[in-house]
Structure 1
């Protein structure tokens, strides 16, 4: 039976980053991808400015600010002189990251998926759609429907429902801004992200029970479409602290959406996927006897950010009108977050007093 030091299931941002770092450390790595590149992938494709410094991908579309909207209210716009974020279609990003992992020495097998595994104290046997291999470590990075996570006994509890489509507009807005709208759904938001070249991605995500396809259809009535792709739905897991993260067990670790490494406020997961993949690899290399234990320590700063982001999400999505009334203040703060100038903890503590004042004012004038 063919043996590898590590097998990584899933060649998205998390899996490819884990494979890249493991290969760079000198390990013999097998990277499995169920589909073949380039493959379509549902995602807004937004990357914060702080997360792209070491990426090396040139085909990124720069975003310089944001426009925050609420039905029936005048939108709020903020624009900066340098990019605060970048967007890129996931089929392009994922193919690029998988290629980087292969160039570093990982063996990439496309059209091959993990179907099961057995684990002992010293090794694993991994069953794939193309036969069996053995390995010393396994990283599960297959996304929301991760087979690895399910086989370890994990079950999803917290997630957004989302629908999205790619489109081109007859009268496109500026491609320098991301558009965010509150008030369309009870617990979530609607977005329109520019991909460059006249392409946009429109989506909505919510933890509520709205018919999201009807929400998007209603919004589309106000746009002059040149071309629209197929409407597709998917789920976005998230964590509100370390208790919600799926780290793994024994010689098996989980990264990216498979481990719930997604921001609970914005649903941003690409940068956290790459970071969790990197930390998986580091845990295997530095602590081969107890990789999950070290992994748990290394992800604590991320878990802390998710905790504060979760508190912000509870306030912003429960009281969306009050949140929008502080649009100028919060839009500036979130641009600082995207640029890496502020943390979620800072945003929460600095904005709580103003939010409570606005919440009190808005409810006072209802009576």
Structure 2
């Protein structure tokens, strides 16, 4: 019997598998298709991403486990940044209209974020989980999760037919439309937006992303990705015309895309994320930023909390995880929700706010609470 079966090998699932395996747990990860595919998530991330990848920046890895893994991770430690990095981003240009509209620029003199290879990120994190001792299998679609006294039975359709796996705890890291969440009867996120992405492979190493507050209740974006090209995207509320609005964005930029994809973006955590012998992590738990929809870093922070708090032989410790991850992310998510409300304010108020605050910033893109930091205060004072 496994200690944990993790359903989903995205960033949150693979990060939990790695952290749990490093803690001595017996972990199986099941991914429904090819790891990293189909792509349905932006590759624009804060610099914190490198803390979760092999190398000196991985401060979350214990010195003991690092010593164990030094030999087998040496090559990946040297290459993770080079393999995944695409472009440095120094700030954002905010528009209330299209591509040619007035831009309000927010910037730093050093990179604030990176564009990365999003598919490569999933593959690298899954490899990290395997190196830590987790068993990772792709091509396994989970069809049933049954919480029984003393164990959980997970049924999946794999390359060789239907198989069943027993574990003490099952982790639902299987995205916005989580099958685990459905099977164990946990509630849905507050909201599922419809996100659309597209890629132009013409190289672009520009320093700024473009954000357009032209989509009701959310926004559209353009992200330069260096030699990998440019990412375009937007998200809309259910029932809105995502394809039509996306075509308008592309026409505005006069661009034809080489690749497209789409997916759901969960906003607002459900009332509960733990069951009798189950828990949700990452997008399945809507551990995302309400003002951007991004959840890579939040999900991996929650994954580390799960590995720390949950004892597979003591299901009652699931409640420790429920409490701890909410305490970790609550302030950021609450403030992020208020920031998102600004997207729907009347245009004159938006314009006045942007003029007042555009310029050098001291804000961390994953931490809305940094709006009240000393760094941001210094940036505000420097404008005078």
TM-score bucket of the superposed structures, by smaller chain: 0.7 to 0.9
Question: For residue 265 of structure 1, what is the aligned residue in structure 2?
Answer: 291
Question: For residue 229 of structure 1, what is the aligned residue in structure 2?
Answer: 258
Question: For residue 161 of structure 1, what is the aligned residue in structure 2?
Answer: 194
- TM-score for both structures, normalised by structure 1: 0.84
The reply to whether residue 140 of structure 1 matches residue 138 of structure 2 is no
Match for 2:206 among 168, 175, 188?
175
Deviation at 1:8, TM superposition (A): 0.4
Structure 2 counterpart SS, 1:343: helix
Cα distance between partner residues in 2 of 1:133 and 1:180: 45
Residues 250 and 339 of structure 1: CA distance in aligned 2, closer, same or farther (over 3 Å): closer
The reply to whether residue 249 of structure 1 matches residue 239 of structure 2 is no
Residues 146 and 195 of structure 1: CA distance in aligned 2, closer, same or farther (over 3 Å): same
**Per-residue deviation, residues 262-296 of structure 1 (Å, max 9, x unmatched):** 11111111111111221221222498341321012
Deviation at 1:158, TM superposition (A): 1.0
Question: For residue 44 of structure 1, what is the aligned residue in structure 2?
Answer: 42
Residues 285 and 180 of structure 1: CA distance in aligned 2, closer, same or farther (over 3 Å): same
Cα distance between partner residues in 2 of 1:185 and 1:238: 16
Cα distance between partner residues in 2 of 1:63 and 1:11: 27
How many residue pairs match? The answer is 340
Q: Is the 8 A contact 2:212 2:219 kept in 1?
A: yes
Question: For residue 325 of structure 1, what is the aligned residue in structure 2?
Answer: 352
Q: Is the 8 A contact 1:161 1:234 kept in 2?
A: yes
- TM-score for both structures, normalised by structure 2: 0.81
**Per-residue deviation, residues 58-88 of structure 1 (Å, max 9, x unmatched):** 1223211111112174102233222111122
Question: For residue 189 of structure 1, what is the aligned residue in structure 2?
Answer: 219
Deviation at 1:328, TM superposition (A): 4.9
Match for 1:280 among 294, 306, 330?
306
85-94 or 15-24: bigger deviation = 85-94
**Per-residue deviation, residues 299-354 of structure 1 (Å, max 9, x unmatched):** 113022211211221233343542243225555687612286x616739xx99xxx
For residues 57-136 of structure 1, the aligned pairs below 5 Å read 57-58=80-81, 59-60=84-85, 61-71=87-97, 73-130=101-158, 131-136=163-168
Unaligned runs of 5+ in 2: 55-79, 378-384
**Per-residue deviation, residues 79-105 of structure 1 (Å, max 9, x unmatched):** 322211112232111011001100100
Cα distance between partner residues in 1 of 2:168 and 2:245: 47
Cα distance between partner residues in 2 of 1:333 and 1:302: 26
81-90 or 256-265: bigger deviation = 81-90
Unaligned runs of 5+ in 1: 352-367
Q: Is the 8 A contact 2:274 2:319 kept in 1?
A: no
